[in-house]
Copies of this chain bind each other. A is one copy, B any other.
Amino acid sequence: MGMTPIDFWYSIGSTYSYLTVMRLPEVVRREGLKLRWRPFDVRHVMTLQNNSPFKDKPVKAAYMWRDIQRRAAGYGLAPQIPAPYPLANLALANQVAVLGTKRGWVEDYTRATYRRWFEMGQPAGEAPNLPDSLSAIGLDPVQTLAEAESDRIVAALARETEAAMAAGVFGSPSFVVGTELFWGDDRLDDAIAWARRPV
Q: Which A residues contact B (CB, under 8 angstroms)?
A: 49-51, 56-57, 59-60, 62-63, 66-67, 70-71, 165, 168, 170-171, 180-183, 186-187, 190
B63, B186, B187: which contacts A181 (Cβ < 8 A)?
A: B63
| Total identical chains | 2
**Chain B residues with CB below 8 A from A181, complex form:** 63, 66
**Chain B residues with CB below 8 A from A187, complex form:** 67
Separation of A70 and B186 alpha carbons in the complex (Å): 14
A63 touches B186 (CB 8 A): no
17 interchain pairs (CB within 8 A)?
A49-B57, A49-B60, A50-B57, A51-B59, A51-B60, A59-B165, A59-B168, A60-B170, A60-B171, A62-B168, A63-B168, A63-B170, A63-B183, A66-B180, A67-B182, A67-B187, A70-B190
A170 touches B59 (CB 8 A): yes
Chain B nearest Cβ from A74, distance in angstroms: 8
**Chain B residues with CB below 8 A from A165, complex form:** 59
Chain B nearest Cβ from A159, distance in angstroms: 19
Chain B nearest Cβ from A63, distance in angstroms: 6
Separation of A190 and B62 alpha carbons in the complex (Å): 18
Separation of A62 and B187 alpha carbons in the complex (Å): 16
**Chain B residues with CB below 8 A from A57, complex form:** 49-51, 170
Separation of A181 and B67 alpha carbons in the complex (Å): 9
